[in-house]
Structure formats: C-alpha cells, structure tokens
Chains A and B, each alone.
Chain A
C-alpha cells in the first residue's frame, strides 16, 4: 500500500496525533507505555513502603495518596488497589501495548521492507483505543471506592459483588471497560502485524530470511489473536454477572448479611477462561523481548545468532505449548487431579525450547567480539533473568510442589524475574538499540551503563529474596506480614526488598532523563550506528512516509552475516548481493 496519504505532511494534527505512519504510531505507543510504566512503578514503591515498614506513618504516602493513606498509613483495601493496578499496568499497558505496540509497529515494516503496515488506519485506531483504555484505567483511580482491588486476575465472586470489597464497585466496571477496549486495540494491532508480515515482505525476504524479531512478533500476534478474545468473553460474562443479574460465575453466596439469588455458576469457569489468556499473555510479553535481544546479541557480538532455525523452532514450540498449559495456575482450585497431571506435563515441556534458546544465546556469545552498548548489557541481563526465573518455573509447574508454594511470594519472585524483568529488560534493550531509528538521535552511553548496573543489581535485590519469603510460607497479596507471629522475623527481608526497590526506582529516572534529554538534545544519529545488517538501517535518519526514498531494497541474504569469513567488514547488510563463492545461510 502506498503510505502517501492525501493530507499534508506539515499538518501537525495528522503528523503527530492522528498519524497513520507506523513509525509515529510506534513512538506514540512508546511514550504512552512508558508513562504508564512509571505510574505502575511508583505504585509498587508506595506499597513497598507499607510492606517494609508496616503501619509506620509516612508523610510521603499521605502527601501523594491523600485519603488512601490516612495519617500516612496505607489503608488495607488501598494496598490491594495499588497492587492490582500495578499488576494490570505492568502486564498489559507497559509490557503488552508498550512493548509489542512500540517494536512491532516500528520494526515490522522496516525490517521486512514494507512501506507501512497493511492498514495504517487500523493501526492508528489501535493506538487510540489503547490511549482511551489507559485513560479509563487511570480514571478508575479517582472514583468512589477506588479502583479494582481484587488482584490483576480479578477472580469472581470478589470482583463480581460490589459488597465484597470497596474496589468491586464502579472501579471494577471501569477496569472491565478499559480492558475490553484494550483487547480491541490489541486485536487490531495483532491482525495488522500478521497480515503485514505475511503479505508485504520485500523481494527476497523469505520467511526464513526474516530477523528473529519479526518471527517473535509474528508468533506473539498469533497468540494474541487466539487468546485475547477469550479474555474478552470472560470479562463480558463477568459484566453480566455484575450488572444484569446473571450467574455465570456465582452460586450459593451469602454476603453482607444476606443470601444472594444466584445459582449454578462457577468461579472456576472464570479461572479457566482468564488463564486461557493469562498464560499465553506471559509469552506475549516474553517472545518480543526474546526476539529483540536475539537481534541485539547477534549485532553486538558481531556473530551470527547461533542456530537460527532452532530459534525459530523454539519460538513456534513455545507459542504452541503456551496455549496448552493454563491449568498450572489452578492446581489447587479443586480441579480434577488428572487434569492437574496433564497440565504439569505440558508445562514442564516448555522448558525444552526455553533451554534451547538459552544455550543458543550462550553459544552466540562464545568466540564473539562483543561490544557492550547499553542495549547489549540489557540483553545479557535478560539472558540471566530468563535463566533465573525460568528455572523456578520448573518448581511451580510441578503440581505436587505447587501445592505448597502456590500464591506465595515464591510465585511473586518467579514471575517478576522471568516475565517482569525479562520483559522490561527486553523493552529497555530495544529502546537503547532503536532509539536512533525512532528519534534520529543517540542516547547517552554513560547514563546507560549506570542505568544497567543499578537496575540489574536492585532488580535481583528486590526479587531474589522473595523466594525466601515464599518458602517461609508467606502468601502474596498480604497487606502486612505482621499479623502472624510466625512471620515476625521476616521483616529484615522485607526491609531489604523495599530499599532495593527504591534504588531501582531511582535508576529508572536516570533512564527517563536520558530519554527526554536525548529526544530533544541528543547528538544526531548516523545512518547505521551499530553497523547492523537488517533493513531498517538502510532507511534515512529523518523519517519519511514510505520509509525508503527510492525503491524498496531487495534482500539477498539472511540477517546474520556477521564476521563472515572472506568478507572485508564484519557485517554484510541484507541488501548486499551474494558474492560468487559465498555460501547462503538462510533461504
């Protein structure tokens, strides 16, 4: 499709606001996602104050949170509200929309050699629906009773009955509305990504010559299209139960002094529907992060990614298995033990393609020639978090072991490391790497180095100790551990975690400063600052509609010809024709 649309490029409104250009939309996703991410992060710092110093008056909390923290002590239901919105924002707004929205949009057309997305209009719509859903989610913070507070999983009946807790009133309705719009945004985006990848590849760009980023975005989009509609159905039925007196999820309930007229529903049904999205969602976050880092590792190790086809195979395998494992979140719901056994089996299978990926990363580094750009540092950080968090998954996926660690801080430690850290590291890695492509300027490397080392140290300082809390039997979503004498001596651990959380939080402001400063004042970027092979670096630094001023380059080779024997330079871009005696690595 020709991206030269009818309106004038100087028109501010259409250039910056209602743009249909994928590069501008990518930036819009990035800025909105980052903004939401900082809000989510600040929330975690607020509730970490309560967990580290339970019940102590904190003027900061009182000043910022007002009536949520009377006399400077966070109220129990508002603690849960903060945890819930923190989780929701981090999972969906930062690491789904912020991550996929930014990089799928930016990179798909640029790396496959297309002038824009298949439908620029749908793409624009996708962003504005995301924007609207962000507004609704933030608005829910200000309504009577506060925002949704039943956890990011919003299990009914807690989420279905306004009398169950303050957050289950208007705040929950807004949560559902916001997520419904979010899902539409995600679907529009994903369909567009799939169609674009399948149809708009430039000449020579066969599927097995696509960069691993594109493979990851492709499988991610398919996962999104398959699983988000199920969440849509789940929350729709929940809305019916809340507002129209149905009882899909409700049965035999006595609350607030009276028995309700509900019969025959099952909360377990909701859990199945939720996790049918909820688990693939983890990979919707993880796969793009892995795709991004594969690209960055190969570029900066100046070496082909090891086992390109095995990497594609494991992306596909992970994608496929990930829709068959949702029941591992439900081992102790009373679900049939046979089902539990099946889900244990499928869950542990995921470890195989994951292990292949890790070893392939390691082998790519082996005998490489590594340049430590900030992006590369975060990529290495991701490999570390992916290993650390993935290994504890082997414990949680085992139904017999999950009995005792389910819903404890062990889980919180596990998923933050494997999903939260790997996802954010992947996203940050992508920002450092493609910032020049997005803004035409360079980020400051020194701030990047400081940012990385502070982040990885504090991240492990926050999340590693959580495993100990979990193995000591501390449940998650607890306002304080101080009501059980059994947990009294765990306060040291909680203080440690909270202090590291604050250091980590400050480190992100260094990053924010670097971003904002460099967008306006950073040094101008050269065309191909990292000496990379992929097509996006053949486009001009200044963004133009249609990406390439002339014809779209033709692709002659796979993207990983780094340090190829016989070549003069240590990289050969994809649009360079094959030499006469060259061996073609991807077809």
Chain B
C-alpha cells in the first residue's frame, strides 16, 4: 500500500513537472529566449520567491515548535540538569535573534537588490569599521557564553565528595543490556574483571574479594533516592556503549578496559514526574547511546526515583552478591533467569539476522 502510494505520487510528480517545463520552454521560445540566460522575468520571479521562502521557512519552524514542542524532554529531573537547561535557554536566546536577523537580511537583500540593467551595484570592497564590528561583537558574545559554559561544566564534572553520602552505583553495559550494581554497606565495589565472567557472574566479580560480598546486583530497573547525590561508575563488557539518561541530563560512555564516572542528584520522583508530564505510564529510562551492534536500538533499563524510605526498602529486598561464607546464592540464579527472558525479545531479533 505504502509502496503503491509512493510509486503513484512519484509518477504523477514527474509527469506534472515534465508538463510544466514543456510549457515554460514553449513560452520562452515564443519570446525568443534561450534555455540558460537568466532574463529579467526570471530575476523577478526568483527575487519574489526569496521572501516567500523566508516566510514559509519561519512559519514551518513555528509550526514545528507548536506541534512538536510538547514532545521535548520535560523539566530536568536532576540538580545539575537545571543549570544545563538554563545554559541551554541562554544559548537559544543568543542564537535565535541572530538566526532570524541574518535570515531576514539574506532574503531581504536578495529580493531587494535583484537585477536591474539600469542600475549599477555599489562598489564597496571593504570597510575596516564594519569588519571590526562583526569581529568584536561575536567575540564578546562568545566570550560570555564560553565563560558561562565552562563554569557550568566545572560544577557538573566536580566529583561528588564522600561527605555528601552519595549512593554508589556501577552501570555495566554489554551487548545488549544493562546491569546495575550497588556498592553495599561498605561503600566499595568488589573487584571485577572480564576474565572472571562465568555463568551467572556476568560482571566478572571476584568471589574472593570480601568488598564485593555485600554488592547488590539488579537488572531491568534500578532505583534512586530523591535529593541524594548518586555517583555512577561505568564499565563495559565488550564494545563501547553509552549510558544515556536524558531526563537527568546525564550521559557517559562505557568503555571496555576502563571505568568512567558521572554523578548527579535526582530531584523529582517518578510519581511526581508522572504528574508533571500528565502521563501515567511515564518512566525514567536508561538507554544506550553509542552504536554497539545490531540491537543497539533496544538496550533499556528503567529508572525509578523515589523517597529515601522507599529506596531503602527496595534496596533491602535486593539480594547480596555473596553471603559471608563465599559461595554463590542460589536465589541469584533465579532472578537472572527471569531477566534473561525479558531481554530475549531483543536477543531474538539479533539472533534471527545473524
């Protein structure tokens, strides 16, 4: 059906165009013109199209803002995200007038100064004053943006200090899914390396490292307490992935062979955000934003932001990686099997194309 539509419209379009051009050609020949020299009539027509295009262009942008503006990301759900959004707004306030002004000038000049054989263009090869003006003004404006931007950047990238009592979470990426690990009461992650990966131990944790015994491993969704800093550590198992949490204005690549970090403080709980977006289905998500293979488009994990009590309660229910005696818990196997099924949807698409 779709194809038919495409084919029919293509054919009709081509026929219409061919007819139009034939008519134009005949009309031109009747006036004794050739097929390439731009005539006064051509100049008039093209000149008139300039402001028309400008209006259409601007109108389409307004239409897009009205029609699609509501689909943009909602207010930032993290503290630093608000500073990013402010910086973004400032940048738009600088950019938009420049965009509008230069476009108006461009299409206005094009229309206004279209060819007239009785007129000569103004011989105006240069003007130091003007050139200085538009070197200095952008320099000043950009300096302000640069300083503002770098200040924001420094604040964001300053690591969370231990005094702030951050939640420590490791996000681990693999083809094609995520695992989250909480550091547990000792506030340290157990040692892990790809060479230890075996069976259910997808993170490659070293079972002899007691720091890891209280680590908690979750899949499919992870929870965050509201208004408490979270320090993320990122690792990857196979290729580069990128942990992208758009609602929190947070992103960091997960690179095999190294750990990367990013921290933020969630400020809006999931249920509050449901209200803000007026969408009962709303969920914060983590997605992969670095091409990582065929099912790159489907690497997801839900993020639940909740009150400190709810968070502690939820975390309390999660199983620790190993009990003190050092042997794996049977329960771990069970929960992972459930997850395997959940990710199977994406896995099977990959399988079928391989």
A residues whose Cβ falls under 8 Å from a Cβ of B? 53, 56, 58-60, 75-78, 80, 150-151, 155-158, 161, 164-166, 250-255, 259, 264-268, 301-310, 332-334, 337, 340-341, 344-345, 348-349, 351-352, 355-356, 358-363, 365-373, 377, 380, 383-384, 387-388, 391-392, 394-395, 398-401, 403-404, 406-408, 442-447, 449-450, 453, 456-457, 460-461, 464-465, 468, 471-473, 475, 477-481, 483-486, 489-490, 492-493, 502, 506, 510, 522-523, 529, 560, 562-565, 570, 585
Contacts and interface: CB of A to CB of B under 8 A. Distances in A.
A77 B295 CA distance: 8
A362 B105 contact: yes
Nearest to B14: A506
A76 B297 contact: yes
A113 to B, nearest CB: 22
Contacts of A445: 35-38, 42
6 contacts: A77-B353, A304-B123, A367-B122, A395-B91, A484-B300, A563-B121
B294 A60 contact: no
B258 interface: yes
Contacts of A161: 238-239
A388 B149 contact: no
B159 to A, nearest CB: 10
Contacts of A356: 131, 134-135, 138
A253 B238 contact: yes
Contact of A529 (B17, B36, B285): B36
Contact of B116 (A369, A490, A565): A369
A67 to B, nearest CB: 10
Interface in B249-269: 249-253, 255-261
Nearest 7 CB-CB pairings of A with B: A251-B257, A334-B260, A473-B246, A372-B46, A337-B157, A442-B36, A367-B122
Nearest to B296: A477
Contact of A265 (B124, B257, B283, B293): B257
Interface residues of B, number: 131
A362 B109 contact: yes
Nearest to B91: A395
Contact of A464 (B46, B64, B194, B195): B64
Contacts of B244: 407, 473, 475
Nearest to B260: A334
A465 B63 CA distance: 11
A265 to B, nearest CB: 7
Interface string B194-210: 11010000001000000
Contact of A450 (B17, B56, B103, B252): B17
Nearest to A257: B197
A565 B120 CA distance: 9
A58 B139 CA distance: 52
A307 B130 CA distance: 9
B256 to A, nearest CB: 5
A480 B287 CA distance: 13
A403 B35 contact: no
B255 A268 contact: yes
A479 B50 CA distance: 37
